[in-house]
């Protein structure tokens, strides 16, 4: 992290007042409306205020549709005189599917623009801020130490990950017992957690761009991996890791299309609507990092993994697990049951993969939802946002 750069110091060190904080929270709340639909674009909300009164609001619904800033500006006939504009992400300055927002904002001449996070894309980061400042508009950027920055990062964690690391944010969902077991030695694993955990897991699916599973789970449980119990106009992409192409075309997750990642060469035909990727690593397994890079190139921001111990263990060993959502049920399966990760043991406790506790939520029926984050992943993304702006302005 190169924090010595003058531009970044100026950009991120300004204090956030209580009033600004209130409207940034509102912008974040609006942005959340695009939680299930904005992909591959970021979730963005915008609030425009004059004399403490809201004169325009907007949020970005889907790629190809108007950006949040434009929708909010329309509500006040593009008259931003003496107004303050609040956005959770730096207004875009590059030509995309729609005209860029920053020049339009600059032309409408608001008094101030307050931004929760800079654009993480290294090729455009800082451009929106520079354009607004060049037009004489006061721009405030929230510093990374502020909770608002962290909330804004969390809302677009997959988009930021794709821009900074060229791979999606990978979230692993696990239902386990009190003793950390995910299946009995007989293989029976369904219904470890209760109804509330199962419905909650559909929210995780709905916000994900893709759901990843392994051939073991696909053959044992034949899951559909679709969003149910939650209203959404969009279903995530289904991805199956199947090293030897053992899957049969009748698997339910293939209905409506899917991607299979294999270590075999691609066959002429596999199953209707199913694309096969050949991604072997040097030991003949599926190269999981390569798979993540491929998904990132296709605009996949967030990947939810619902897999058994083998694929979960391989992802953990490859250092690809960014977040774990654990639904812990108050049952004990004992020693012969299977654990969460089939991964090599570390030589010392200090070398074990370690996660930071983010959230604990009792679900009311005895189950507990626990969220753990990879600390390195969070740090990489925060540093990436700052570095992107620094590199641009160095």
User: What residues act catalytically?
Assistant: 69
Fill in the per-residue mask, 218 to 247: x = in contact with Zn ion (CB under 5 A), - = not in contact. ------------------------------
CB of 67 to Zn ion, least distance (A): 3
Minimum CB distance to Zn ion smaller for 33 or for 224 = 33
Inter-CA distances, 119 with 41, 126, 153, 189, 392, Å: 12, 7, 10, 42, 11
Strand positions, DSSP E, 230-336:
237-241, 258-262, 274-278, 302-305, 323-329
Tabulate helix, strand, coil % of the chain (nearest 5): 35, 20, 45
Minimum CB distance to Zn ion smaller for 68 or for 261 = 68
- Give 293's contacts (C-beta < 8 A, 6+ positions apart): 166, 167
Minimum CB distance to Zn ion smaller for 86 or for 341 = 86
Minimum CB distance to Zn ion smaller for 48 or for 92 = 92
Q: What is the sign of the dihedral through the CA atoms of 251, 253, 255 and 257?
A: negative
CB of 392 to Zn ion, least distance (A): 17
Q: Which stretch binds Zn ion (CB under 5 A): 1-9, 93-101, 184-192, 272-280?
A: 93-101
Asked if 92 interacts with Zn ion (CB under 5 A), we say yes
CB of 79 to Zn ion, least distance (A): 19
Asked if 67 interacts with Zn ion (CB under 5 A), we say yes
For residue 236, which of 164, 298, 312 has the smallest C-alpha distance?
298
Give me the half-sphere count of Cα atoms (radius 13 Å) on the Cβ side of residue 230: 20
Query: What is the rounded distance in angstroms from the CA atom of residue 127 to the CA atom of residue 125?
Result: 6
Asked if 89 interacts with Zn ion (CB under 5 A), we say no
What are φ and ψ of residue 308, in 5° steps? -90, -170
CB of 91 to Zn ion, least distance (A): 6
**Binder to Zn ion among 24, 27, 101, 115 (CB under 5 A)?**
101
Asked if 131 interacts with Zn ion (CB under 5 A), we say no
Minimum CB distance to Zn ion smaller for 101 or for 263 = 101
* Cβ atoms of residues 14 and 141 within 8 Å: yes
- Give contact residues for Zn ion (rule: CB under 5 A): 67, 92, 101
């Amino acid at each position: 992290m190169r924090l010595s750069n003058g531009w970044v110091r100026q950009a991120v060190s300004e204090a956030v007042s209580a009033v600004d904080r209130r409207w940034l929270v509102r912008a974040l709340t609006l942005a959340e409306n695009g939680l299930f639909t904005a992909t591959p674009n970021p979730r963005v909300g915008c609030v425009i205020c004059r004399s403490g009164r809201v004169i325009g609001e907007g949020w970005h619904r889907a790629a190809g549709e108007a950006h949040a800033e434009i929708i909010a500006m329309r509500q006040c006939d593009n008259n931003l005189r003496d107004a303050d504009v609040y956005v959770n992400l730096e207004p875009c300055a590059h030509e995309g599917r729609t005209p860029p927002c920053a020049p339009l904002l600059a032309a409408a001449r608001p008094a101030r623009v307050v931004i929760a996070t800079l654009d993480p894309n290294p090729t455009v980061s800082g451009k929106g801020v520079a354009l607004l400042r060049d037009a004489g508009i006061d721009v405030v950027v929230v510093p990374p130490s502020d909770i608002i920055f962290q909330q804004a990062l969390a809302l677009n964690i997959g988009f930021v990950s794709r821009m900074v690391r060229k791979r999606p944010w990978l979230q692993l969902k696990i239902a386990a017992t009190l003793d950390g077991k995910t299946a009995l030695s007989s293989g029976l694993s369904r219904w470890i957690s209760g109804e509330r955990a199962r419905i909650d897991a559909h929210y995780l699916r709905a916000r994900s761009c893709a759901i990843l599973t392994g051939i073991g789970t696909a053959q044992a449980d034949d899951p559909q991996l679709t969003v149910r119990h939650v209203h959404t106009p969009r279903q995530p992409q289904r991805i199956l890791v199947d090293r030897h192409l053992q899957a049969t075309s009748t698997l339910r997750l293939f209905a409506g299309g899917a991607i299979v990642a294999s270590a075999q060469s691609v066959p002429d035909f596999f199953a209707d609507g199913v694309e096969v990727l050949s991604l072997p690593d040097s030991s003949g397994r599926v190269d999981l990092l390569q798979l993540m890079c491929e998904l990132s190139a296709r605009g996949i921001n967030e990947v939810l993994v619902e897999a058994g111990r083998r694929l979960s263990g391989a992802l953990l060993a490859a250092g690809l697990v960014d977040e774990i959502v654990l639904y812990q049920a108050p049952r004990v399966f004992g020693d012969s049951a299977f654990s969460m990760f089939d991964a090599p043991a570390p030589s010392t406790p200090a070398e074990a993969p370690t996660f930071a506790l983010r959230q604990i939520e009792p679900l009311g029926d005895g189950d507990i939802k626990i969220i753990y984050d990879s600390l390195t992943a969070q740090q990489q993304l925060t540093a990436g946002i700052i570095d992107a702006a620094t590199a641009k302005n160095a």
